[in-house]
Structure 1
């Protein structure tokens, strides 16, 4: 190797081998300025799908700006911003807001953290409990947003739209007798909260604020229940389940005296089905086909109403619904214990 014959004199001539090129040397060189909005005032700024593509992003020292990040990213920091409105697409890691005040945000992330913030209102999707530290007058609601690429961006960021702990806030620095955070009203006008973009480029993304189109289901969270009965609905995966789950949720939202408290999507083994919900063969077999989606519904006469809804829109799916009030209470406790054990594994 490294030799060849030269001419006809039979002598070997050395030939230089090209230096090896490593994979990181072939990567496109990125300019941090393309992933930063800094020192802006009174502007509409944004990135359309494909422009961030999983990279880290930085927002700092902005005032009176409206910012739309219509893409998935690795992590994002927001520092020293005042009176800004920000949309942040699916974030694989954490978003960290520091020294921000009078903000309105719509955010999807794995981890949400704030420090030294005041008056930040957030419509949130978060896979883990949101954390606030040395922050006051913080308000939270459930993420509501849609544009065509958002579903695939959630998958690229490793986020599950049904796993949202937006209202389970952990305050690292509580003040006795005071509340540093609260929940936004359910009838919040999202378009007033964060208007759709005005520029042609950002408007072309096709964003929608219709809660029924939102990639993340709109949930009631830890607000006061509206009724005395909660029941558990489990939808097992098949080729129709994604569409049917959305249809069930639409019907629940249309019930005047029922609310969707929370949702969860997780793996459920046949032995888990037997232990928590009995050994019905159809449930055990269906658990082998993929993730199971839980819907916790609260209101009046919820068991009867959930059965009616499933019969109307999801008869081609395998579904478990709590049988009666006693079973509903038992199912709730078993399911929460199961989810807690999953999070500690």
Structure 2
């Protein structure tokens, strides 16, 4: 009987189990299920001397890969998940808001403009990066890497930052961690771009200087006329440089705004500050650093901001003793946050910062009743408290 069943193609349960053990079921991964046509649309690979563009809406939060490019200009003008970049040389690559990680490996002599949640670089050399990163950037086994603050703009960028859940005001671009530091501390593997070098880097992304014939077929060159002088992400100073300036605490202004959403009023304030600088070159006001908090309660915020004043006035008295008087400043929001909310803190530097910022905010009804300002060493200490609070939330 068994012989008959076997000839008919029937097998007992025992036979089936034995066969299953002999031939384990092949694992199926998510990328195996992705149509090959879709995979081709989510990568640029094996190209040379081309302009490669992905327009808004063409990636829509999916992963993207860039592999084996030489002397190409790449514009990923959309929000994405994870970006992997491997083996690229002499390229200029713009990476739109990425809500997970950007990995750059085995690449040399490239210029990048990147907005992401995590930034990782390995086995690279002679690379410039204009970076917006909401966590500490990391490099490894890399040398001659130069960083600067993200500076870029195109029409859809602001909405894409929101879609990727990236705050324009949370940017650790200069707080680099090197997993494999150079044994010669006087010659570190990374540094920072001067303003002149930043301009040179941005020139690689100025497509108005390119012939229309070099652009992809069917692409309207007008779409790529990007405004390089405006940025949705505020330009901030080098964190290490700011901390090394003892005079900052004497000439700084902290503005704390209890707005959880990306608010158009904030953008108007930043635009007006930039216009004020452009109109009067003697203005020394700069945005030193900025931070956007996670959700916090009123009590948490009050504890962070209610710091005794650090300004100590010492004067010599008879007997050579120093008399120290401490002025305590009572600082809190007093129901500025009704329950739980976010705040955005902007630390401005420069002797003209108080006058300029106070004047601008006084003209904004939505801000003047709710914003909080402090000056000098207290402002510097309060900002550091807020920044430390944020770092504890993510590490």
Same fold (TM over 0.5): yes
Look up the match of 2:227: 209
Given that 1:236 and 1:287 are in contact with CA atoms closer than 8 Å, whether structure 2 keeps it comes out as no
**How much has 1:245 moved relative to structure 2?**
1.4
Question: What does residue range 39-188 of structure 1 map to in structure 2 within 5 Å?
Answer: 39-175=46-182, 176-177=184-185, 178-187=187-196, 188=198
Look up the match of 1:220: 237
**How much has 1:249 moved relative to structure 2?**
2.0
Distance verdict in 2 for CA 1:130–1:282, change over 3 Å: closer
Question: What does residue range 266-277 of structure 1 map to in structure 2 within 5 Å?
Answer: 266=293, 267-277=295-305
Given that 2:254 and 2:380 are in contact with CA atoms closer than 8 Å, whether structure 1 keeps it comes out as no
* Cα deviation 1:29-80 (Å, max 9, x = unaligned): 3532221211111111111112212221111111011111111121111111
Given that 1:46 and 1:202 are in contact with CA atoms closer than 8 Å, whether structure 2 keeps it comes out as no
Segments of 5+ residues of structure 1 without an aligned counterpart are 1-23
Structure 1 residue 192 corresponds to structure 2 residue 203: yes
Given that 1:306 and 1:321 are in contact with CA atoms closer than 8 Å, whether structure 2 keeps it comes out as no
SS at match of 2:195: coil
Structure 1 residue 296 corresponds to structure 2 residue 347: yes
Distance 1:288 1:230 in 2: 29
Q: Rg: which structure is higher?
A: 2
Look up the match of 2:265: 244
Segments of 5+ residues of structure 2 without an aligned counterpart are 1-29, 278-282, 307-329
Given that 1:231 and 1:297 are in contact with CA atoms closer than 8 Å, whether structure 2 keeps it comes out as yes
Look up the match of 1:231: 253
**How much has 1:141 moved relative to structure 2?**
1.2
Distance verdict in 2 for CA 1:232–1:28, change over 3 Å: same
Given that 1:235 and 1:245 are in contact with CA atoms closer than 8 Å, whether structure 2 keeps it comes out as no
Distance verdict in 2 for CA 1:224–1:250, change over 3 Å: farther
TM-score by length of 1: 0.82
SS at match of 1:337: helix
* Cα deviation 1:225-280 (Å, max 9, x = unaligned): 485323311112289x8222123223443443121122222233210232233587
Distance 2:112 2:301 in 1: 39
SS at match of 1:284: coil
Distance 2:74 2:377 in 1: 49
Q: How many residues are treated as equivalent by the alignment?
A: 315
Look up the match of 2:383: 332
Distance 1:277 1:219 in 2: 22
Structure 1 residue 259 corresponds to structure 2 residue 286: yes
**How much has 1:204 moved relative to structure 2?**
4.4
Distance 2:117 2:220 in 1: 25
Distance 1:35 1:100 in 2: 20
Look up the match of 2:7: none
User: Considering only aligned residues, what root-mean-square deviation do their CA atoms show, in Å?
Assistant: 2.7
Given that 1:234 and 1:319 are in contact with CA atoms closer than 8 Å, whether structure 2 keeps it comes out as yes
More helix by share: 2
Distance verdict in 2 for CA 1:287–1:117, change over 3 Å: farther
Look up the match of 1:319: 371
Structure 1 residue 309 corresponds to structure 2 residue 318: no
* Cα deviation 1:289-326 (Å, max 9, x = unaligned): 742111011122534443233224x343111110x434
Given that 1:252 and 1:260 are in contact with CA atoms closer than 8 Å, whether structure 2 keeps it comes out as no
* Cα deviation 1:315-341 (Å, max 9, x = unaligned): 43111110x434224323422332233
TM-score by length of 2: 0.72
Given that 2:120 and 2:139 are in contact with CA atoms closer than 8 Å, whether structure 1 keeps it comes out as yes
SS at match of 1:201: coil
